[in-house]
């Protein structure tokens, strides 16, 4: 009964390729997030969606395009991959308001060669 | 500005207490959080404190909050080898009517016999 799941767990690809990472949550949460964790473990928010609507969009290259087909899914598509995109990408979800604890997925390790 | 700072490493002997410190910048944060990340896994909420509290105790964990100095600490009593992980401090910041979490760089706790 995984709460927040991501696929794939590992992704190795060549520079210039386009790839997607999928995220699903079965917690009934309204809000979902994408974070990037670099090699030094620094974790930074990229996007957030609430009920399929983009609410947070940090300074992220427009090669990154999130898509939320419904409130339980938030996918991340990356065009023209670059070496600097290598990182672990975490999806998370939460309710709106109150403590708003964020539940994290297991992460997708992306390696760009 | 949005900035959360933590020391990067802490090494303690098994059975001793660990204290991880954090400073944050947004005085309007409603909640402050401690997340734990074990190797190869996503982040998990360990504990949190509401901004109108000075202290919160939860079994072996004690959180202290000094709002004047914008200083947060996490004390783990009787530290065990299973506590070895990266600990992230996070503050919540209002962004367009929603909350987003700003994470520190994480403190890597190593527990040795």
- Per-residue pLDDT tens for A8-38? 999 999 999 999 999 999 999 999 999 999 9
Q: Hey, of A24, A30, A49, A102, which one would you mutate to test binding to chain B, going by the most B CBs within 10 A of its CB? A: A102
Separation CA B78–CA A26 (nearest Å): 36
- Residue B6 token pair: 């933590």
Of the candidates B53, B55, B34, B56, the one whose C-alpha atom is nearest the C-alpha of residue B45 is B34
Judged by a CB distance cut-off of 8 A, whether residue A45 touches chain B is yes
A59 burial via Cβ count (<10 Å: 0-12, 13-18, 19+): exposed
The verdict on a CB contact (< 8 Å) between B103 and A43 is yes
Instruction: Tell me the shortest Cα–Cα distance from A103 to chain B, in angstroms.
Output: 7
Enumerate the residues of chain B whose CB falls inside 8 A of the CB of residue A43: 43, 88, 103, 106
- Residue A23 token pair: 């995220």
B100 or A83, which is more confident = A83
Judged by a CB distance cut-off of 8 A, whether residue A38 touches chain B is no
Residue A100 has what pLDDT? 76
Q: What is the mean pLDDT of residues B27-42?
A: 88
Query: How would you label A76-98 residue by residue, b for 16+ Cβ within 10 Å and e otherwise?
Result: bebeebeeebbbbbbbbbbeeee
Q: What is the mean pLDDT of residues B1-23?
A: 92
Residue A98 has what pLDDT? 64
The verdict on a CB contact (< 8 Å) between B106 and A107 is no
Q: How confident is the model at residue A1 (pLDDT cuts 50, 70, 90)?
A: low
Of the candidates A53, A49, A113, A57, the one whose C-alpha atom is nearest the C-alpha of residue A85 is A113
Q: What is the mean pLDDT of residues B100-109?
A: 92
Backbone angles phi, psi at A66, to 5 degrees: -80, 150
Q: How confident is the model at residue B46 (pLDDT cuts 50, 70, 90)?
A: very high
């Amino acid at each position: 009964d995984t709460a927040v799941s991501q696929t794939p767990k590992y992704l190795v690809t060549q520079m210039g390729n386009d790839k997607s990472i999928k995220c699903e949550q079965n917690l009934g949460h309204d809000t979902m997030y994408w974070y990037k964790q670099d090699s030094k473990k620094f974790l930074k928010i990229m996007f957030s969606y609430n009920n399929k609507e983009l609410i947070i969009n940090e300074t992220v290259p427009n090669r990154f395009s999130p898509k939320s087909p419904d409130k339980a899914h938030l996918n991340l598509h990356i065009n023209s991959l670059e070496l600097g995109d290598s990182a672990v990408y975490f999806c998370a979800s939460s309710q709106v308001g109150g403590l708003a604890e964020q539940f994290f997925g297991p992460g997708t390790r992306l390696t760009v060669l | 500005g949005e900035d959360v700072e933590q020391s990067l490493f802490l090494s303690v002997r098994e059975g001793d207490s660990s204290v991880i410190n954090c400073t944050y910048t947004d005085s309007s944060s409603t909640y402050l959080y401690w997340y734990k990340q074990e190797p190869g896994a996503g982040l998990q909420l360990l504990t949190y404190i509401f901004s109108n509290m000075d202290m919160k105790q939860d079994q072996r964990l004690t959180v202290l909050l000094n709002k004047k100095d914008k200083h947060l600490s996490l004390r783990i009593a009787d530290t065990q080898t299973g506590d070895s992980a990266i600990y992230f401090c996070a503050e919540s910041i209002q962004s367009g009517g929603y909350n987003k979490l700003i994470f520190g760089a994480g403190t890597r706790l190593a527990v040795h016999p």
